[in-house]
Structure 1
Amino acid sequence: MGERDEPGTIGRRVQQLRVARGLTQKQLAEPVYTPAYISTLEAGRVRPSDDALRHLAERLGVEFDELATGRSARQVTEMRLRLTEAQRVLAVGEAESAVEQYTALLAEAEAQELPEEQAAALLGLGECALDTGELVDGRRYFEKAEERLADAPLPARVPALRGRAVAHYLAGELRYAVYLLESTIDELNRGGLHDPDALLLLYASVIGPYMDMGAHARAAQAAEFALALAPQSGDPALVARMHRSVARTLLAEGRLAEADASLAKAAELYRGLQLRTELANCHWMRGYVYAQNGELERAEAEMREALDMLSAARATLYSSQLTVELADVLHRRGRSEEAAELLRDVLGGLSPERGAVHAAAAHRLLGIIAEDARDTDQAEEHYVRALSLLERAGAAGDLADLCRLLGDLLRRTGRVEAALDAYRTGLGHRTAPGTTTLGPAPAQPPV
């Protein structure tokens, strides 16, 4: 059987239950055991066998697990039901309500010493923190979840690893985020642990960092892998709701193992719903590829579809980043005023700590639009602000391009020495264009 408490703890529990039910040691022992055995067991001097515990549980009117661990299997299943409900609440975008539920569940799981349920609650709190932009708190929750799952197989730890990587990415730590995601992908693929859900989560999550680092070929490949791995479900929310209802019915009938199985299916589907944000990144990536190929109408359509998906999930930081990309497409389609309006609206949700690369991209594009309108002072101001943001994030390829733009502007306004300084800075960054630090791309999954 699974883990159980020490003999002394079990003995005290048996004695308390026996006394509460008004049974003597002889009555509890009959007809299989002796009163002396019960006395020795209650004193904690013998480790009861599974058969002995089953006999005692039946005589005391409790479940085997409750006698062995102090936890009722029904209580654990009911907790898992509440965890899937919290997942549902988060999946539909009600992060504040989900935080309350996960916080209560974490306290309960800690009190009952349930590491898997603790990890699930911590993961939920981490996802809530990402949703609301509290990146430091989110990273801490994911780290604690990893600690609770230290002995679990790698696929079980992937959601926590991925969450930590995303928190670092959103904080502007691009290379470390890519390192975490790529090394985990490699470990899964090279180790033969081809878990499709885990791989989907990782490939979808690495697209954003790849894009910001200029590793566009890897981003395109990751997007295709993610879309190929994406589970095909007509309406996952409906199916998940059905599984939760079935689990409640089975729980009421005492069919705990079957209830747990239904809850596991519901939890998987809710994870799929949360993947809506990640799959939106795949459409975003496709839009970027179309834009690079000059297919601007198709690019706009893909990006708007991605933006709709992100807005539905209340992924505000991702939405802000995507809006910058969409504004670039609109500018290239001759709709500069519409693009500038989008950029000004979105800059309030970006900062050096939250979306530095895309905040820089917004300022860069506003600078270009200002140049087109012959407002050189405004253009220079935007370029300088973008430069500061990119230097902090270490986005080398973008820095080189921005230095060229700034140098051209300074040269046109007669400041030749300042322009040369800008060009020299850009050349220094061009020697290390946006790439990952890991050499070869991760191993390919068996899609």
Structure 2
Amino acid sequence: MTDEAVGKRIRELRQEQGLLQAELVKPGLLSAGYLSLIESGRRRPSPDVLRYLAERLGTTPDHLATGRQPDLWQETERRLSFAELALEHATAEAALSEFEEISRSGPPPYHPRAELGQARALELLGRTEQAFAAYEALWKAAEPGTALWAERATDLLRCSRDLGDYGYAADLGERAMTTFEDLGVEWSDSSVRLGVTLAGVYIHRGDLVRAARLLRRLIEISDSTGSPLARGSAYWNAAVTAHYQGRGADAKAFADRALALFGETDHQRNLAVLRTFYGELLLDGEPADPGQAREFLLDAHERLTQMASPAEISECETYLARAAVRLGDLDEALRWAQAARSRLTADAAPTAEAEAAIALGMVHLAADDARQAAAALAEGERVLERATPGRAVVSLWNRLADLHEERGDTTAALRAYRQAMTAAGYRRPSHPLTRV
């Protein structure tokens, strides 16, 4: 064995388990200074110290000394690899069971990896609150300012955003970005993606100016790093911001750039969600191109069903329903709208539920089924009333109002428009404007 290799294995196992050097100190056997020398390869651990560290780190002295993995570790590695593969192929329920079992009874060095898999499986299953709690535990165990810490902070922001808690997400993201600046950490893929996710939170709560300002900075930084993943993420959110600011040409140019960059990565889930957004751009464009939008959305849907969450698949299906209505195929539109509505789990975000219900109401309205249209739109309204105000909620209230107008219910349309104004931050006066 080489002292440097032994020290490296001890350091990596300690960090994987979120342990500080001070937590491994044992009076009379191992001091913090002695451990630091061991980890740097400048001292060789005694047999007693090696046995003690192996016990604390959940491994064997032979593994620390030689790098040879115990048989149980090899089996655990195989199980984890298969569970992670299952996550990539939309079998999150089976993967979750395996991750939970390894977290309970597997070798301790594999616990963090299994716990991360557990969090991801919960998120894919639409159990976002549980996923948030799992990510939060991993984030708190990571060392501030590290890539791992940034990745888990990004996961927390994403879950908070999907739960509609934009205030918490923005505060967490801003504090995390400040931590990087205070520590003087150089920009990396992980920190850029954290910033991009924070910009996404700004977009969702309607703060497009702040989002655009942050994204301009992140594009400049990521262009200099040369990472397709970081650059693609920044351009993607810049496209979303431009779209909601009504800058259609800029949005499409940014989205084209993002598609090209993500095509150079192995992040297939992100690419599928991006293609869903591109389909939305084509539906909302001037002029709209529902035919090409349908092609992008069908491709995205095929990819999403293999690896995405119910909410992401449902969103794609609502756009497919819109495209089918534009193309005059109401039977296909109804199939997509019903699929979007039935796919969502009980703890889905209110915006996802409302979007699916409103899409179903739109299809029934296009088919001249007034009773079914009214029922679906009423459901969308009930769900929106408990949603956290933000850009998505404003947009959905406006869409609901437009559909009520189309069906001739001006009272419901006015109510929805007023709700949109309230969600956007406008407060109606408490007394009539023309009376004292």
Task: Say whether the fold is shared (TM-score over 0.5).
Answer: yes
CA–CA distance in structure 2, aligned partners of residues 222 and 52 of structure 1: 45
State the distance in 2 between where 1:61 and 1:179 align: 44
Counterpart Cα distance in 2 of 1:314 and 1:53: 48
Does the Cα contact within 8 Å between 1:129 and 1:135 map onto a contact in 2? yes
Equivalent residues in 2 for 1:260-409, closer than 5 Å: 275-293=267-285, 294-350=288-344, 353-393=347-387, 394-395=389-390, 396-402=393-399, 404-405=401-402, 408=405
Tell me the equivalent position of 1:106. Answer: 103
CA contact (8 A) 1:380 1:406 kept: no
What residue in structure 1 maps to residue 187 of structure 2? 194
Q: Whole-Å Cα distance in 2 between the matches of residues 66 and 379 of structure 1?
A: 65
When residues 390 and 55 of structure 1 are mapped into structure 2, their CA distance, relative to the original with a 3 A threshold, is closer
Structure 2 match to 1:15: none
Query: Residues 346-383 of structure 1, C-alpha deviation per residue, up to 9 Å, x if partnerless?
Result: 21122673042232222223323333333333222222
2:92 matched to 1:95? yes
AA paired with 1:317?
A
CA distance in 2, matches of 1:92, 1:141: 22
Greater displacement, 132-141 / 1-10: 1-10
| Distance of 1:375 and 1:181 partners within structure 2 | 46
Q: In 2, distance between residues paired with 1:406 and 1:297?
A: 22
Matched, 1:145 2:133: no
8 Å contact 1:324–1:361 — kept in the other structure?
Answer: yes
Equivalence for 1:156: 148
Deviations 1:40-61 (A, max 9, x none): xxxx9xx89869984743xx89
What 5-or-longer segments of structure 2 have no aligned partner? Answer: 1-6, 12-20, 231-264, 428-436
Single out whichever of 190-199 and 344-353 deviates more from structure 2. 190-199
Does the CA contact (< 8 Å) of 2:154 and 2:194 recur in 1? yes
Distance 1:291 1:186, change over 3 A: farther
- Tell me, yes or no, if the aligned pair for 2:50 and 2:61 is still in contact at 8 Å: no
CA distance in 2, matches of 1:337, 1:216: 37
Q: Answer yes or no: is the 8 Å Cα contact 2:330–2:367 preserved in 1.
A: no
Distance 1:134 1:406, change over 3 A: same
TM-score by length of 1: 0.62
Do the aligned partners of residues 73 and 397 (structure 1) sit closer, same or farther apart at CA in structure 2, a change above 3 Å counting? farther
- Of structures 1 and 2, the one scoring higher in RCO (CA 8 A, sep 6+) is 1
Work out whether 1:6 is the aligned partner of 2:26.
yes
State the number of aligned residues.
347
- The match for 1:72 is 60
Q: 2:158 aligns with which of 162, 166, 170?
A: 166
Name the structure 2 match of 1:22: none
CA–CA distance in structure 1, aligned partners of residues 63 and 158 of structure 2: 33
- Is the CA contact 1:204–1:278 (under 8 Å) kept in the aligned structure 2? no
Query: Contact 1:123 / 1:159 at 8 angstroms: preserved in 2?
Result: no
Task: Return the offset for 1:407.
Answer: 5.0
One-letter amino acid of the structure 1 residue matched with residue 154 of structure 2: R
Task: Give the TM-score taking structure 2 as reference length.
Answer: 0.63
Tell me the SS of whatever aligns to 1:392. coil
Provide structure 1 residue ranges, at least 5 long, that are not aligned to the other structure: 11-43, 233-271, 434-447
Amino acid at match of 1:285: F
Q: Which residue, 116, 127, 141 being the options, matches 2:120?
A: 127
- DSSP 3-state at the match of 2:359: helix
Range with bigger deviation, 379-388 or 398-407: 398-407
Deviations 1:262-316 (Å, cap 9, x if unpaired)?
xxxxxxxxxx76x422232222222222222113233222222222221121533
By how many angstroms is 1:129 displaced? 0.7
Describe the superposition over 1:135-187 as per-residue Cα deviations: whole angstroms up to 9, x where unpaired: 222112111111211x3424211332222233333334455446545765676
% identity of equivalent residues: 17
Assess, with a 3 A threshold, how the Cα gap between structure 1 residues 177 and 391 changes in structure 2: closer, same or farther: farther
Which of these two proteins has the greater Rg computed from alpha carbons?
1
In the alignment, which residue of structure 1 is the partner of 2:129? 136
- Describe the shift of the 1:425–1:168 C-alpha distance in structure 2 as closer, same or farther (beyond 3 A): closer
